[in-house]
Chain A
């Protein structure tokens, strides 16, 4: 299994540009989520999904869109990039089993908005 994969690894955008961060998992996990990591703030939840066709907002959703058309994929779209969105983005997935809640993380995408 590849686990959770994210592309690209690095990205530089200009203010106002849009782009999609890709996330895929091959573990048949129901739950997927996107976090952003900023120095001194830990990880903050952007959006999450509990299954195909179901998404919801997390703590910091403004400026981001998501969709979940398949169990495997959970792309994150930046609609109009702003310097405040410079961050490291992590995708995570979790199996829908009562006894298990740990999240498996991808390697991250480092985004710089100039």
Chain B
């Protein structure tokens, strides 16, 4: 079965600074990988996904993520953070032949002025 680890529980970043959120997965073959964002009191919104092909994927809101098979990682990045990026971010992994997703515990991002 697949699993996800998000090593950072909480990250504080200054507005305008860059952001990187770490995600490590466990799965025997090439997984389906996702990043979701959850604003306070809201549901989850898909930021980006990786199925195959180019290992650098672009998402909404200026986010990108890079799939590194050798490191079993799918880290999320944003070059310049805005105050509205304060939220909780979840990495998720799925198998190509299954709809079920396994989620990480999440990383809370605080943006300071």
Instruction: Tell me how many residue pairs across A and B have CB atoms closer than 8 Å.
Output: 54
B103 located at the interface, meaning its Cβ lies under 8 Å from any Cβ of chain A in the complex = yes
How many A residues are at the interface, by size bracket? 20 to 34
Report 19 cross-chain contacts, Cβ distance below 8 Å, ordered by A residue. A33-B100, A35-B103, A40-B9, A41-B105, A42-B4, A43-B90, A45-B100, A45-B101, A45-B102, A90-B43, A92-B44, A94-B99, A101-B51, A101-B94, A102-B34, A105-B36, A105-B45, A106-B43, A108-B43
The main secondary structure of chain B at its interface with chain A is: strand
Chain B interface, number of residues (Cβ within 8 angstroms) = 22
Per DSSP, are chain A's interface residues mostly helix, strand or loop, or mixed? Answer: strand
Chain B minimum-CB-distance residue to A94? B99
Q: Please report A residues at the B interface, Cβ cutoff 8 Å.
A: 4, 31, 33, 35, 40-45, 48, 50, 58, 90, 92, 94, 99, 101-108
